[in-house]
A and B are shown apart, each in its own frame.
Chain A
Amino acid sequence: MESQRATATARLKEASLAATGIRLMRFEILEGTVSTSPGAHLTFEMQLKDGPATRSYSVVDDGMAPELITVAVKLEDPGRGGSRHMWSLEPGDEIKIIESSNSMPVSFDRRNYLVVAGGIGITPMTAIVAALRSSGREVRMVYCARSREHAAFHDRLSSLLGDGLVMHYDAESGFLDVEALVSGVEPGTQVYICGPIGMMNAIKAAWAALGLPAHDLRYETFANSGTERSQPFDVTVVETGRTVHVEAQQTLLDALVKSGHEVMYECLKGECGLCKLEVTQADTGIDHRDVFLSEREKASGESLCACVSRFSGGHAHVRIDGISHGPTG
């Protein structure tokens, strides 16, 4: 059952560069209303060359224009085309916005908070940090960016957090020491993380290894980031015997649906597990980009979530129907 989501027509009022490769875009609402809360994203409707599409972007709170809706869009190249479309918009252009649920809502029931952001994962954190600070909560933030030029919102965060902001530039000091970071977290601290899947997986693994409570670690999934660059590949569907080609810019689920295969799916970001397929044969590894399968299931290579995960090239055989759902032990 789908509920009715609020929608609005918005006009791009101004756009500027927030950092290298990150476009800050401010929209004014012309008609309708959409509600957001710290950490929430909004869905934008757009026309891409393959047809209508939607993309979600986290709402930014940089303290500058509370009456406008601000998002920051990283140019993904190669990507599936959404960010290129957003970058092509000019002031005065109109776009439809759909309200989305907040998958990382802020809870204000703790005294201490740690926020870890990597790259474009900074966007939802701007609003979360602003909300926590304005309600007087202690916030420490570790912000990882490739270099100073790639770090958006530095001045804003610095004024909100003072000494609580620790910048980490990969180009200067290599990757973040995740284990040191996690083992230094005080008990009872609420942790929010958002960033590339490699960083998130490392933090989640370190968190689990120390036996820390799962609900103290909250994260948002960025469905399009994988550990490898997307490759084209072929899959043969066991039930139909047909072979389907999947382009680098296309998801496995899209290719299967376009070729007339019926696949059940829902979240499209690797969370719900409804699009899980069984892998019966593969001549390359799998780039698992979902958060549904357990580490053991991922390591076994026996299944993948078609909406986000992909084969690393080559040719594989998958089964769509009659596969096993439920815990694997």
Chain B
Amino acid sequence: MTDRSYPLNAWYVIAWNHEVKRGSMVARTICDKPIVTYRKQDGTPVALDDACWHRLVPLSMGHLKGDNVVCGYHGLVYEPGGRCIHMPSQDTINPSASVRSYPVVERHRFVWIWMGDPALANHDLVPDLHWNDDPDWTGDGVMMEVNANFRLVVDNLMDLTHETFVHSGSIGNDAVAEAPFSVEHSGDGATVTRWMHDIVPPPFWASQLGKPGNVDRWQIIRFQGPSTVAIDVGVAVAGTGAPDGDRSQGVNGYILNSITPSTETKSYYFWSVCRNYRIKDVSLTTQWREATKMIFGQDEAILNAQQEAIDRNPDKVFYDLNIDAGAMWARRKIDQMIERESKRARISA
């Protein structure tokens, strides 16, 4: 078993697609490696190791010249494939001079990077977050830098019992903590389903539904290993058949989350909130995003404190509750992904 808490053979979000602009570079540390990402003239995103082959100065400190990166120290030039195509003061170019280039793909408003064996970087493996750019849906989100291991963020999303305590007053109420849930798993995924029948809606959902009376509320949490969680959420007027598939008397949203390990104690947390009603209402989109920012800010404070506590209590371990079933399945799936790659002798890293 390796010491890494994350697998490498997976697509991770490196940036929102609008963050990667033509003519400038974005530097991020992904899976403990400094990476620089930018766009070629034709718009295709590129990701390279952010360290010049020569003396390791970050390439992101240099500048772009067409599709190529010029190191800001001695002017070595790299093409998008990572090969050095210019060296100062010599007639030839050392054929070994190159930096690693990584497979990247732009999908669902994100730029994804594959840090592991490039031969396995199949685009079909990009997690499904299609609600982000599906014409029947609308929404928006941001990236938060969290000072916590990515698994802690996944834990947080796989068990929404915490809503009752962390987010009381917005989306949490006693019903969440007390409602039963079920867990299923297959392949690299796991799903937690929780229905709350005939409950008083929490304030946020009451205002979204805009109808009086009790509701049937659902939270269907779909984990796609190693770190993408799409949560199907909503409420419908109680007794109108939502649990049986008729959501016509309700409102539906998706909380989309993909967490990218930066280091063992830092993560880039990309999230968005999407809905399939009043989709032309831009103000509502902004309200959803800002409300979620506030709610996730509460999570962030907990997660940062949790990581700090882990670091300050090296002699202590986690104990588990019944409510952790979903999170434990997610963790087991992540472990299995890591185990699969460590069985191969040729892990590229």
Contacts and interface: CB of A to CB of B under 8 A. Distances in A.
A144 interface: no
A108 B103 contact: yes
15 contacts: A33-B2, A37-B117, A66-B345, A67-B344, A67-B345, A69-B346, A106-B118, A107-B80, A107-B83, A108-B103, A109-B101, A130-B119, A218-B83, A291-B94, A292-B90
B119 A38 contact: yes
A16 interface: no
Interface stretch (A163-171, A266-274, A310-318): A266-274
A220 B103 CA distance: 22
Contacts of B100: 37, 102, 105
A102 B160 CA distance: 45
B287 interface: no
Contacts of B91: 293-294, 296-297, 327-328
A29 B345 contact: yes
- Summarize B's interface: helix, strand, loop or mixed: loop
Given A103-B98, A131-B118, A134-B120, A214 B93 contact: yes
Interface of A: 28-29, 33, 35-38, 40, 59, 61, 66-69, 101-110, 130-132, 134-136, 190, 214-215, 218-221, 267, 269, 271-273, 291-294, 296-297, 325-328
A221 B345 CA distance: 25
Contacts of B321: none
A215 B78 CA distance: 9
Kindly list the 4 A-B residue pairs having the minimum CB-CB distance in the complex, ordered from nearest.
A107-B81, A131-B119, A103-B96, A37-B348
A40 B344 CA distance: 16
Contact of A293 (B80, B92, B96, B121): B92
Given A38-B118, A103-B96, A134-B120, A215 B85 contact: yes
B79 interface: yes
A35 B2 CA distance: 13
A167 B343 CA distance: 34
B68 to A, nearest CB: 9
Given A37-B117, A106-B118, A215 B95 contact: no
A271 B85 contact: no
A239 to B, nearest CB: 24
Contacts of B89: 325-327
Contacts of A269: 96
Contacts of B118: 37-38, 106, 108, 131, 135
Given A35-B349, A38-B119, A134-B119, A66 B344 contact: yes
A194 B168 CA distance: 64
Given A103-B95, A135-B118, A214-B93, A36 B346 contact: yes
Contacts of A102: 100
B92 A291 contact: yes
B94 A35 contact: no
B96 A267 contact: yes
A272 B82 contact: no
A71 to B, nearest CB: 12
A203 to B, nearest CB: 13
Contacts of B24: none
Contact of B121 (A35, A108, A291): A108
- B interface, size bucket: 20 to 34
B349 A271 contact: no
Contact of A135 (B82, B96, B122): B122
B44 interface: yes
Contact of A214 (B44, B85, B103, B346): B85
A109 B81 contact: yes
Contacts of B348: 35-38, 40
Given A102-B100, A105-B82, A218-B95, 4 more contacts: A107-B80, A109-B80, A271-B95, A294-B92
Given A190-B81, A215-B83, A220 B95 contact: yes
Interface in B327-349: 343-349
A105 B90 contact: no
A294 B119 CA distance: 35
B85 A109 contact: no
A296 B346 CA distance: 41
A136 B125 CA distance: 14
Given A190-B81, A273-B90, A67 B95 contact: no
B346 A66 contact: yes
A326 B346 contact: no
A194 to B, nearest CB: 10
B104 to A, nearest CB: 9
B118 to A, nearest CB: 6
B111 to A, nearest CB: 14
A67 B346 CA distance: 7
B146 interface: no
B35 interface: no
Contacts of A103: 95-96, 98
B9 to A, nearest CB: 12
Interface string B38-63: 00000010100000000000000000
Contacts of A109: 44, 46, 80-81, 101
Contacts of B117: 37, 131
Contacts of B344: 66-67
A7 B79 CA distance: 31
Given A38-B118, A108-B121, A135-B118, A271 B345 contact: no
